[in-house]
Amino acid sequence: MSTYYTGKRAQHYNTRWHTYTARTLEETKAIIDVAALRFVPERLGRCPRVLDVACGTGILLRQLLALVPGVEAYGVDASADMLVQARMALKGQLHVHLERAQIGRGETANLPYAQETFDLITCTNALHDMPEPAGMLAGLKRLLVPGGQLVVEDFAPREPRFFWAAFEWLLRRIERNNVRTYTLFEARALCQQAGLHVASENVFTVDWLWHGWVVRAYRTSSEAAPTHA
Ligand SMILES: C[S@@+](CC[C@H](N)C(=O)[O-])C[C@H]1O[C@@H](n2cnc3c(N)ncnc32)[C@H](O)[C@@H]1O
């Protein structure tokens, strides 16, 4: 596992990446079908269940708790130090469960949850760190309830490609992890490989360097996007 998100880097993550995080999470929230989540209690007679994988310092979970009242929020991350920050950010919130786990390509992405548990799964700014992204997405798909949404966001490679290849090489050295970024086209293909259907997508700009994409996907075949009022 990368040791990048530990110690002082975890402590200062929110300050250092404030602008980047604000922009990427704004795009993530914009693509989530919030109405579908708010409709869960009426439709299924229970709280909406949300999982943020590689939740980092818990910023997105905190925002989702404000956006969808009564939500039951789960967060997993491989870094104990990032989870310390998440616990502080989510202190006092009801129905929050944070776990340390290494997400992978197992049946349920190596996570300790039953299949068909979550109405929404999010994964922001972390796909580039995953060694087997299609396998991981397939595992997350199994954790979705029928009609549940998977929202994935990450930064995208830029042109010219030789510049980006050099930049990725640098990121690998800094993170000591096999960083691999994806275009929206490649992200869509990974979803397809994982048995997911992308129903909505967007590309966006953070600044001169960072550009990103975001997709909302559903299980394919009988589990298409739900219709709701
Ligand atoms: C750039 S941070 C993003 C955090 C958060 N999702 C956000 O958007 O602010 C990447 C996070 O992914 C976590 N991570 C990377 N690989 C992981 C893995 N295989 N399993 C669990 N967490 C992982 C890191 O510990 C780190 O907290």
Smallest CA-to-CA distance from 212 within 125, 150, 132 is with 125
Tell how far the Cα of 55 is from the centroid of ligand 1, in angstroms.
6
Q: For the CA atoms of the chain, what is the radius of gyration?
A: 17
Find out whether the beta carbon of 129 lies less than 6 Å from any atom of ligand 1. Answer: yes
Give the helix ranges, DSSP H, for the chain.
Answer: 7-11, 13-16, 18-31, 34-38, 40-44, 59-67, 80-89, 133-143, 161-175, 184-193
**pLDDT given for residue 228 in this prediction:** 54
Tell how far the Cα of 227 is from the centroid of ligand 1, in angstroms.
32
Residue range 12-23, pLDDT digits in tens: 999 999 999 999
Residue nearest to atom 15 of ligand 1 (CA): 129
Residue range 168-206, pLDDT digits in tens: 999 888 887 788 999 999 999 999 999 999 999 999 999
- Quote the mean pLDDT of the chain: 94
Between 60 and 178, name the one with better pLDDT. 60
Find out whether the beta carbon of 178 lies less than 6 Å from any atom of ligand 1. Answer: no
**pLDDT given for residue 2 in this prediction:** 72
Q: How far apart are CA 119 and CA 226, in angstroms?
A: 11
Between 3 and 211, name the one with better pLDDT. 211
Residue range 112-158, pLDDT digits in tens: 999 999 999 999 999 999 999 999 999 999 999 999 999 999 999 99
Find out whether the beta carbon of 5 lies less than 6 Å from any atom of ligand 1. Answer: yes
**Ligand 1 atom, smallest distance to 104 CA:** 19
Structure tokens at 189: 């293909």
**pLDDT given for residue 3 in this prediction:** 80
Residue nearest to atom 25 of ligand 1 (CA): 79
Find out whether the beta carbon of 121 lies less than 6 Å from any atom of ligand 1. Answer: no
Find out whether the beta carbon of 194 lies less than 6 Å from any atom of ligand 1. Answer: no
**Ligand 1 atom, smallest distance to 28 CA:** 8
Find out whether the beta carbon of 117 lies less than 6 Å from any atom of ligand 1. Answer: no
**Residue 104: is its pLDDT beyond 60?**
yes
Phi, psi of 22 (to 5 degrees): -60, -45
Backbone CA torsion sign across 102, 103, 105, 110: positive
Angstrom distances, CA of residue 46 to CA of 41, 102, 140, 188, 218: 5, 28, 21, 31, 21
**pLDDT given for residue 84 in this prediction:** 97
**pLDDT given for residue 126 in this prediction:** 97
**pLDDT given for residue 1 in this prediction:** 62
Between 27 and 223, name the one with better pLDDT. 27
**pLDDT given for residue 179 in this prediction:** 85
**pLDDT given for residue 83 in this prediction:** 98
**pLDDT given for residue 229 in this prediction:** 46
Between 151 and 228, name the one with better pLDDT. 151
Q: How far apart are CA 150 and CA 129, in angstroms?
A: 18
